[in-house]
Amino acid sequence: MALIVQKFGGTSVADVERIQAVALRVKGEVDAGNQVAVVVSAMAGVTNQLVDYVEQTGKLYDTQEYDVVVSSGEQVTSGLLALALQSIGVPARSWLGWQLPIKTSSAHAKARIEGIETEEILTSMKAGNVAVVPGFQGISQKNRVTTLGRGGSDTSAVALAAALGAERCDIYTDVNGVYTTDPRIVAKAKKLDKITYEEMLEMASVGAKVLQTRSVEVAMKHGVRVQVRSSFSDEPGTLVVNEDEIVEQELISGIAYSRDEAKITLVGVLDQPGIAAKIFGALADANINVDMIVQNVSADVNHAATDLTFTVTKADLERAVATVKAHAQDLGYKDLQSDPNVVKVSVIGVGMRSHAGIAQRMFQSLADKGINIQVISTSEIKVSVLIAEEYAELALRSLHTTYGLDGDE
Amino acid sequence: MALIVQKFGGTSVADVERIQAVALRVKGEVDAGNQVAVVVSAMAGVTNQLVDYVEQTGKLYDTQEYDVVVSSGEQVTSGLLALALQSIGVPARSWLGWQLPIKTSSAHAKARIEGIETEEILTSMKAGNVAVVPGFQGISQKNRVTTLGRGGSDTSAVALAAALGAERCDIYTDVNGVYTTDPRIVAKAKKLDKITYEEMLEMASVGAKVLQTRSVEVAMKHGVRVQVRSSFSDEPGTLVVNEDEIVEQELISGIAYSRDEAKITLVGVLDQPGIAAKIFGALADANINVDMIVQNVSADVNHAATDLTFTVTKADLERAVATVKAHAQDLGYKDLQSDPNVVKVSVIGVGMRSHAGIAQRMFQSLADKGINIQVISTSEIKVSVLIAEEYAELALRSLHTTYGLDGDE
The DSSP result for A49-106, as a single string, is HHHHHHHHT-SS--HHHHHHHHTHHHHHHHHHHHHHHHHTT--EEE--TTTTTEEE-S
% pLDDT > 90, chain B: 73
Rg of chain A, C-alpha, whole Å: 23
Kindly report the pTM of this predicted structure.
Answer: 0.86
Q: Which residues pair with B188 in a beta bridge?
A: none
Phi, psi (deg, nearest 5) at residue A21: -65, -40
Longest dimension (CA), chain A: 80
% pLDDT > 90, chain A: 74
Which chain B residues contact residue A65 at CB under 8 A?
79-80, 82-83, 86, 93-94
Considering only the beta carbons, identify the residue of A58, A84, A144 that sits closest to B87.
Answer: A58
At B62, the pLDDT band (50, 70, 90 cuts) reads: very high
Distance CA B341, CA B321 (A): 15
- A22 in contact with B, Cβ within 8 Å: no
Residue-wise pLDDT tens digits, B275-294: 888 899 999 888 888 989 88
What is the pLDDT at residue B297?
67
Residue A347 belongs to what H/E stretch?
strand A335-348
What is the pLDDT at residue A300?
62
Dihedral sign computed on CA atoms, order A208, A211, A214, A217? negative
Q: Is B199 in contact with B349 (CB distance < 8 Å)?
A: yes
Residues constituting chain A:
409
At A204, the pLDDT band (50, 70, 90 cuts) reads: confident
What is the pLDDT at residue B3?
97
Backbone dihedral region for residue A287 (phi beyond 0: left; psi -120 to 50: alpha; all else: beta): left
What is the pLDDT at residue B160?
98
Taking residues B254-271, report their average pLDDT: 90
What is the pLDDT at residue B207?
61
Taking residues B19-23, report their average pLDDT: 98
Taking residues B83-103, report their average pLDDT: 98
Reply yes or no on whether the pLDDT at A283 is more than 70.
Answer: yes
Mean of per-residue pLDDT scores for chain B: 92
What is the pLDDT at residue A151?
80
Q: Residues 6 or more apart from A223 whose CB is under 8 A from it?
A: A242
Distance CA A270, CA A107 (A): 38
Give the best-scoring range by mean pLDDT among A83-87, A243-247, B203-207.
A83-87
Taking residues A270-292, report their average pLDDT: 87
Distance CA B136, CA B141 (A): 17
Q: Count how many pairs of residues, chain A against chain B, have C-beta atoms within 8 Å.
A: 113
Distance CA A41, CA A77 (A): 7
- A53 vs B61: CB contact, 8 Å cut-off? no
Distance CA A87, CA A24 (A): 11
- B360 in contact with A, Cβ within 8 Å: no
Distance CA A334, CA A308 (A): 11
In A100-150, DSSP assigns E strands to 102-104, 113-116, 130-134, 137-139, 145-147
Which chain A residues contact residue B67 at CB under 8 A?
79
- A55 in contact with B, Cβ within 8 Å: no
Residue of A nearest to B53 (CA): A16
- B117 in contact with A, Cβ within 8 Å: no
Interface of A with B in 288-317 (CB under 8 A): none
Longest dimension (CA), chain B: 80
Q: How far is B170 from chain A (nearest CA, A)?
A: 24
What is the pLDDT at residue B149?
85
What is B245-409's CATH topology? VC0802-like (3.30.2130)
Distance CA A308, CA A161 (A): 44
Distance CA B100, CA B94 (A): 10
Q: How far is B118 from chain A (nearest CA, A)?
A: 15
What is the pLDDT at residue A40?
98
Q: How far is A406 from chain B (nearest CA, A)?
A: 45
Reply yes or no on whether the pLDDT at A36 is more than 70.
Answer: yes
At B408, the pLDDT band (50, 70, 90 cuts) reads: confident
For the beta carbon of residue A181, count every other beta carbon within 10 angstroms.
Answer: 25
Residues constituting chain B:
409
Which chain A residues contact residue B78 at CB under 8 A?
68
ipTM: 0.84
Q: How far is A173 from chain B (nearest CA, A)?
A: 22
Considering only the beta carbons, identify the residue of B58, B80, B98 that sits closest to A57.
Answer: B80
Distance CA A205, CA B13 (A): 41
- B93 vs A54: CB contact, 8 Å cut-off? no
What is the DSSP code (8-state) at residue A242?
Answer: -
What is A3-174's CATH topology? Carbamate kinase (3.40.1160)
What is the pLDDT at residue B300?
62
Whose CA is closest to A240, among A256, A255, A221, A257? A221
What is the pLDDT at residue B254?
92
- A65 vs B75: CB contact, 8 Å cut-off? no
What is the pLDDT at residue B298?
62
For the beta carbon of residue A207, count every other beta carbon within 10 angstroms.
Answer: 17
What is the pLDDT at residue A297?
67
Residue-wise pLDDT tens digits, A76-129: 999 999 999 999 999 999 999 999 999 999 999 999 999 999 999 999 999 999
Q: Is A206 in contact with A257 (CB distance < 8 Å)?
A: yes
What is the pLDDT at residue A70?
97
What is the pLDDT at residue A249?
67
Distance CA A220, CA A327 (A): 40
Residue of A nearest to B46 (CA): A76
Q: Which of A350-354, B187-191, B309-313 has the lowest mean pLDDT?
A: A350-354
Distance CA A36, CA A33 (A): 9
What is the pLDDT at residue A205?
67
What is the pLDDT at residue B250?
73
Q: Which residues pair with A305 in a beta bridge?
A: A270
Angle (CA) A381-A387-A389 rounded to 5° is 120
Considering only the beta carbons, identify the residue of A16, A73, A86 that sits closest to B62.
Answer: A86
At A371, the pLDDT band (50, 70, 90 cuts) reads: very high
At B337, the pLDDT band (50, 70, 90 cuts) reads: very high
Taking residues A383-409, report their average pLDDT: 92
Q: What residue spans define the domains of chain B?
A: 3-174, 245-409
Whose CA is closest to A352, among A257, A258, A259, A255? A255
Taking residues A227-251, report their average pLDDT: 86
Reply yes or no on whether the pLDDT at A231 is more than 70.
Answer: yes
Dihedral sign computed on CA atoms, order B300, B301, B302, B303? positive
Helix crossing, A16-31 with A72-87: angle to 10°?
60
Q: Which of A13-22, A253-262, B112-121 has the lowest mean pLDDT?
A: A253-262
Interface of A with B in 207-246 (CB under 8 A): none
Reply yes or no on whether the pLDDT at B393 is more than 70.
Answer: yes
Distance CA B283, CA B264 (A): 12
Distance CA A149, CA B146 (A): 28
Residue-wise pLDDT tens digits, B208-240: 678 888 999 999 999 999 999 998 888 999 999
Helix (H, G, I), strand (E, B) or coil at B41: coil
Q: Which of A14-18, B194-198, B266-270, B360-364 has the lowest mean pLDDT?
A: B266-270
What is the pLDDT at residue B205?
66
Mean of per-residue pLDDT scores for chain A: 92
Reply yes or no on whether the pLDDT at A206 is more than 70.
Answer: no
Which chain B residues contact residue A98 at CB under 8 A?
98
Distance CA B191, CA B188 (A): 10
Reply yes or no on whether the pLDDT at B295 is more than 90.
Answer: no
- A76 in contact with B, Cβ within 8 Å: yes
Taking residues A266-283, report their average pLDDT: 86
- B75 vs A68: CB contact, 8 Å cut-off? yes
| Cβ neighbourhood burial of A110 (10 Å; 0-12, 13-18, 19+) | middle
For the beta carbon of residue A369, count every other beta carbon within 10 angstroms.
Answer: 12
Distance CA B90, CA B70 (A): 29
Dihedral angle computed from the Cα positions of residues B214, B216, B220 and B225, in that order, rounded to the nearest 10 degrees: 140
Taking residues B1-12, report their average pLDDT: 94
Phi, psi (deg, nearest 5) at residue A158: -65, -40
**Cα A48 from chain centroid (whole Å):** 18
Reply yes or no on whether the pLDDT at A11 is more than 70.
Answer: yes
What are the CB-based long-range contacts (under 8 Å, 24+) for B114-122?
Answer: B115/B163, B116/B159, B116/B160, B116/B163, B118/B163, B118/B164, B120/B95, B121/B37, B121/B95, B121/B164, B122/B164
